[in-house]
Amino acid sequence: MDTITVDTPQGQVRGRTENGVATFLGVPYAEAPFGANRFQAPTAPPRWSCTRDALEFGATVPKVGYRPPTSEILSEPVVAGEDCLNVNVYSPDVTGSAPVFVWIHGGAFVNGSNAVPAYDGTAFARDGVVAVVINYRLGVDGFARIDGAPANRGLLDQVAALQWVRDHIASYGGDPHRVTITGESAGAMSIGTLLSMPLAEGLFHRAILQSGAGHHVIGAETASTISAALATSLGVESTVEGLASVPVDALVDAQRTLSDRIAAEASSGAWGEVALNMMAFEPYIDGEVVPALPYSRIEAGAGADVELMIGTTSEEHAFFLVPAGIVPHITEDYLRLVLAGYRLDPSVLDSYRAQNPDASPGDLMIAVMTDWFFRIPAVRVVEAHPAHVYEFTWRSSLFDGKLGACHALDIPFVFDVLHKPETSRITGPNPPQSLADEMHRAWVDFVRDGDPGWAQYGSERTVKMFGTESSVVNDPRPDTRTVWDGVR
């Protein structure tokens, strides 16, 4: 490994080079969000007079962490420190002007960071793309509605990171006029929101949404209810001063406890929209940063000049139900309660059963929840905005194959990191490198020229199915798509 130094508007930055890729880790795009900056909008990028080393991952933001069994499937590194609003940059040539891929991680808005092994941007740089992987504030720090604090600080962080890319990426060999933002789960939901946000206009030119779209925000009233409950549990006011007086670790613990309480009381009606999506700390409609439901803004033309690619995995919700051992215990009666919560008539089960005649009630619940949470919101976006659509169909071998084509399984294929040992925790042994080659190439091609290799969705509802034998199909599963018309 050799080192390389670049001159940037912030000062000199020292990274490393290996196999033709220059890597710069933990470069701050804003000041540390602590002390006087706690619960405030992100500040301007810091500057330095000496050469700054960017050889190790920067600090990660405060987060709750995953519990078993999720922690056994997903890596969640923790790097101590306060300079957590940072980016990692992977460049093929710091003197060039390559297209830029910006990754916004998932984690239900309470977990994730740019230190996750699967988010290594080396393969993108190897193939001629500058990759930027960002951190942003999560949970209470990023999304709680706090009196005296700007709304949706986690989204403001994402905007600040994109502004950093606009103003600084040329120093690392990137073209600020060819920026594609990409994310999975909460990262994709963030992108659906960024598409709708006036503050983010002009900061990106293409977008790829993996397992997330434009429906996952909550109302201000619900956000206030959650923040008030959090503050009450801590014996403080729901203000900047009140919550900032609580040690960070104690605040994170209280956030976890409140989320557990909301899950236990989901049927009470006390927690509004969160009773359905179980994400207590997520973007909320504040009228300014997030003016309205993102999908509604997209439908009205917001983000119309941004080229889109969007998709899901086939069995997203298997990730949340199979490792926990819930699926065998789902009864027909419980499934009908889920349908009622989604405002669906029980008769729609006929369509789902016709699609999979051998499915158990638990299998059917995976299909229904996958559609409500991921597939139908994606369909709504592409009905309003031209896009290339994909579905990831390859099934993990874990849990006797029952994990299936689950949530987050596509990520190591997109990043072409199947060689990393952490990958097998979700794929199982010997995942197909040929599929990683195919998917990674499609993402690179879309970043470069907006064409991943298949037609846009359009009137034919064309979808690229990525699997052991990939194919292009028109309108997969139309019967279970149309049952949601007027509902979701």
Beta strands in 231-287 (DSSP E): 284-285
CB 69 within 8 A of CB 323: yes
CB 217 within 8 A of CB 284: yes
Structure tokens belonging to residue 20: 């033709």
Of the candidates 314, 316, 317, 470, the residue annotated as catalytic is 316
Q: 3-class DSSP state for residue 381?
A: helix
In this structure, the dihedral spanned by the alpha carbons of residues 31, 35, 41 and 44, taken in order and rounded to 10 degrees, is: -20
The DSSP secondary structure of 404-420, one letter per residue, reads: BS-TTTTHHHHTT-TTS
CB 476 within 8 A of CB 391: yes
Amino acid at 456: Q
| Interior/surface letters 25-60, b for 16+ CB within 10 angstroms, e for the rest | bbbbbbbbbeeeebbbbbbebbeeeeebebeebbbb
Q: 3-class DSSP state for residue 90?
A: strand
Is 419 one of the annotated active-site residues of the chain? no
Is 215 one of the annotated active-site residues of the chain? no
Q: Say which residue the tokens 């008769």 belong to.
A: 347
CB 206 within 8 A of CB 129: no
Q: Quote the CA–CA distance of 86 and 99 in Å, as a whole number.
A: 20
Q: Say which residue the tokens 């199915």 belong to.
A: 465
Q: Quote the CA–CA distance of 8 and 12 in Å, as a whole number.
A: 6
Return the half-sphere exposure (C-beta side, CA atoms, 13 A cut-off) of residue 400: 2
| Interior/surface letters 415-432, b for 16+ CB within 10 angstroms, e for the rest | bbbbeeebbbbbbbeebe
Is 329 one of the annotated active-site residues of the chain? no
Amino acid at 421: P
Q: Quote the CA–CA distance of 389 and 371 in Å, as a whole number.
A: 15
Report in angstroms the alpha-carbon separations of 298 from 187, 218, 378.
17, 17, 12
Of the candidates 113, 171, 185, 211, the residue annotated as catalytic is 185
- Residue 197's φ and ψ, nearest 5 degrees, are -95, 125
**Rg, C-alpha atoms of the chain:** 22
In sequence order, which residues have a C-beta less than 8 Å from that of residue 339 and are 6 or more positions away?
Answer: 345, 346, 348, 349, 368
CB 440 within 8 A of CB 123: yes
For residue 133, which of 201, 86, 199, 200 has the smallest C-alpha distance? 86
Q: Say which residue the tokens 């900061």 belong to.
A: 203
Of the candidates 168, 385, 388, 407, the residue annotated as catalytic is 407
Catalytic residue numbers, as ranges: 185, 316, 407
